[in-house]
Amino acid sequence: MALIQLRGLTKLYRMGDSIVRALDGVDLSVDSGEFVAITGPSGSGKSTMMHVLGCLDRPTAGEYVLNGQRVSDLSDRELAIIRNRYIGFVFQTFNLINRTTALENVSVPLFYARQANTRAAALEALERVGLRHRAGHRPSELSGGERQRVAIARAIVNSPVFLLADEPTGNLDSRTGEQIMQVFHALNAQGVTIVLVTHEPDIALQARRIVQMRDGKIVADRPAEEFVRSGEIPRPATASHVLLAPDSPLAAAMPNGDRSPTYDALPPRMMPGANTALGCGVFAIVAVLASMCIGMLVPRPTPDQLAVAAKPPTSLSVMVLATAIAMLLGIISGVVAIFWAKGVMRRIRTEPGNWLGRGRARAGGLLGWLVVGFPVLSVAYGIVSRMLAARG
């Protein structure tokens, strides 16, 4: 069963004496899990369609069936509940509240849904768009791309069934727009149905299906690759920024042929901090090993020598001091490696992108645990073996 079903949908606006047919008998069906792009010239009815789909506006005529429910049968109160629980909306102009923090902006829908623990859910939504570390910032302290990611976090905080985005990359440069598309691809891969309005061909091509509108009507509705094959949408000059699903039929049609980028095969990047985690881990283990080596080199004075000497020779104290310092540095660096690696792994999990550095972070963390765990284990072993010896 289709998630969204429109039949003969019509929306009229009265402008003085004339009537504008913003939507003129639209039939459309969107299945759960789809990623659909809606394109068309300015004034063709795209925004009106999004408002009706998002239950922000009621159609003049026609039928809208959402998840098996006729939307026209619902009261305003029921519509508000459907909007809040099932639908996420992302606008071109972000529409954030400037007076409050990112966290509070994301919490707004939870507040309307009367949820108790808004903080945890809002933080999780921010984490899904890679912005947990900006939770306390106000919109004015964020870049355009970050603001739009906050808006997306707000749209997904109630785990909506589908996400409507009206020109979400329209106010952003292409590099930032790419990051926003990454977030949409990641959400779609997690099962969220996405309907996105855009006038940028390279953005539309990233959807599996493109719906073209003109004068309030749908004039074309086909898989993305057919638009490229027929020449209706020009083949992108460079494929590097067109993110496609790994199984997209369009991947092979891209300019760089079989090397065309897919969503999963984006140019991989090293997650910042992965090298630091590994470096700290390696330093920690080297420092501890050095400490043990110096410790072994320290000559053990015989009881006779100890009895004669009033205090140990200076060289001996220096060596003992060096052992202690190396051990301490190693353990501190090991603790840093553990926490650093944790942070890196979390960012790799939550920030959209094709990240490298899992292995490095893991190795760094493991070395950290070895270094921190080894002295603890050896002390514990010493205590236990002494206790056993005392008993036996």
Of 265, 274, 251, 247, nearest to 344 (Cα)? Answer: 274
Both structure tokens of 3:
């998630």
* CA distance between the termini of the chain: 75
Amino acid at 344: V
Q: Least separation, in Å, of the C-beta of 54 and Mg ion?
A: 13
Both structure tokens of 74:
């619902």
Both structure tokens of 183:
């977030």
47 forms part of the interface with Mg ion (CB under 5 A): yes
Q: Least separation, in Å, of the C-beta of 236 and ligand ADP?
A: 23
Read out DSSP for 203-222? HHTTSSEEEEEETTEEEEEE
45 forms part of the interface with ligand ADP (CB under 6 A): yes
Nearer to ligand ADP by Cβ, of 199 and 358: the residue is 199
Choose which of 39, 44, 118, 198 interacts with ligand ADP (CB under 6 A).
44
Burial class (CB in 10 A: 0-12, 13-18, 19+), 207: buried
Q: Which does 182 bind (CB under 5 to 8 A by kind): ligand ADP, Mg ion, none?
A: none
Strand extents, DSSP E, 110-257: 162-166, 193-197, 209-214, 217-223
Nearer to ligand ADP by Cβ, of 92 and 179: the residue is 92
Check: CB of residue 169 under 8 Å from CB of residue 188. no
20 forms part of the interface with ligand ADP (CB under 6 A): yes
Both structure tokens of 123:
């933080």
Main-chain phi, psi angles of 362, to 5 degrees: -60, -45
Candidate segments 13-21, 63-71, 245-253, 297-305, binder of ligand ADP by CB under 6 A: 13-21
Candidate segments 40-48, 114-122, 270-278, 327-335, binder of ligand ADP by CB under 6 A: 40-48
Read out DSSP for 273-286? THHHHHHHHHHHHH
Q: Least separation, in Å, of the C-beta of 95 and Mg ion?
A: 14
> Which residues lie closer than 8 Å to 92 by C-beta, 6 or more apart?
166, 167, 168, 170, 171
13 forms part of the interface with ligand ADP (CB under 6 A): yes
43 forms part of the interface with ligand ADP (CB under 6 A): yes
Nearer to Mg ion by Cβ, of 158 and 198: the residue is 198
Q: Least separation, in Å, of the C-beta of 230 and Mg ion?
A: 25
118 forms part of the interface with Mg ion (CB under 5 A): no
Nearer to ligand ADP by Cβ, of 170 and 301: the residue is 170
Nearer to Mg ion by Cβ, of 21 and 137: the residue is 21
Candidate segments 42-50, 115-123, 135-143, 218-226, binder of ligand ADP by CB under 6 A: 42-50
Q: Least separation, in Å, of the C-beta of 124 and ligand ADP?
A: 32
Residue 87's CB: how many other CB atoms inside 10 A?
A: 19
Main-chain phi, psi angles of 206, to 5 degrees: -75, -15
Main-chain phi, psi angles of 200, to 5 degrees: -90, 120
Q: Least separation, in Å, of the C-beta of 215 and Mg ion?
A: 14
Nearer to ligand ADP by Cβ, of 19 and 306: the residue is 19
Site residues (CB under 6 A) for ligand ADP? Answer: 13, 15, 20, 22, 40, 42-48
Site residues (CB under 5 A) for Mg ion? Answer: 47
